[in-house]
Amino acid sequence: MLPRVILHNAVSVDGRIDWFTPDVDQFYELASRWEEDATLAGSNTIFNPEEELPEEGEVFEPPKRDSDDSRPLLVVPDSRGRVRNWHQLRKWPYWRDMVALCSHSTPRSYLDYLQKRHIGYIVAGDDHVDLRVALEELNARYGVRTVRVDSGGTLNGVLLRAGLVDGVSVLIYPSLVGGTTPRSIFRAPDLISSEGVIQLRLTHVEKLKGGVVWLRYEVVR
């Protein structure tokens, strides 16, 4: 069974996701209302080689399981095996455990790397991660019913074009950024016809502090 997938992003009035400064506390307080079972973050969001710390002295032990731990899983699609800072991520208090999404093209050495560090992984897809299969496996293996996507436009775009998104949440900030190369919450190849336009149904409008407007939509099937 596919879990429910929610996109949650902050944008400027002209639809950009960069240069303006969102209220991070507000953003994540609203995000917590979904009580997600998993946070899906793109590898581009997680991967930052400049911030990676060496693993020397790290002791890799399986995380302690607590049936009362309601924190979500952190799930990262990483077919190329780029993320090497799992030991740092595991120290953060936001998630109860971590899962990497890989494909059959992921190097065997990276899967061994994950196993030695007790990072769970799911192999789905040939050249790239098949997100539909991976989401179904998250539900079957970990009981994930609600996924909140905490990512930029690339992962959002893959999920939207694959028909895997159920809801879209957008915080619109009273800012105009401009530019000729906008970074938006939906990056994907250009359409060749209007048939690919995704229709939404507005379900919630709320004015927040700082002039921010919160819009929530359901994807029309």
Domain 38-49+70-144 has CATH 3.40.430.10: yes
Q: Which CATH superfamily is domain 1-37+152-221 in?
A: Dihydrofolate Reductase, subunit A (3.40.430.10)
User: 189 phi and psi, to 5 degrees?
Assistant: -55, 150
| Residue 101, pLDDT above cutoff 70 | yes
Q: Quick one: average pLDDT of 15-19?
A: 94
Give me the chain's average pLDDT, please: 92
All structural domains of the chain with their residue ranges: 1-37+152-221, 38-49+70-144
Q: Quick one: average pLDDT of 97-123?
A: 96
pLDDT score of 47: 67
In angstroms, what is the C-alpha Rg of the chain? 18
* pLDDT tens digits, 182-217: 789 999 998 999 999 999 999 999 999 999 999 999
To which H or E segment does residue 40 belong?
Answer: strand 38-40
pLDDT score of 91: 84
* pLDDT tens digits, 38-73: 999 998 888 665 555 566 556 567 777 788 899 999
* pLDDT tens digits, 143-179: 999 999 999 999 999 999 999 999 999 999 999 999 9
Q: Determine which of 13-17, 56-60, 118-122, 216-220 has the lowest per-residue pLDDT on average.
A: 56-60
DSSP class per residue in 46-72: H--GGG----TT----PPPP-TT--PP
User: 185 phi and psi, to 5 degrees?
Assistant: -80, 0
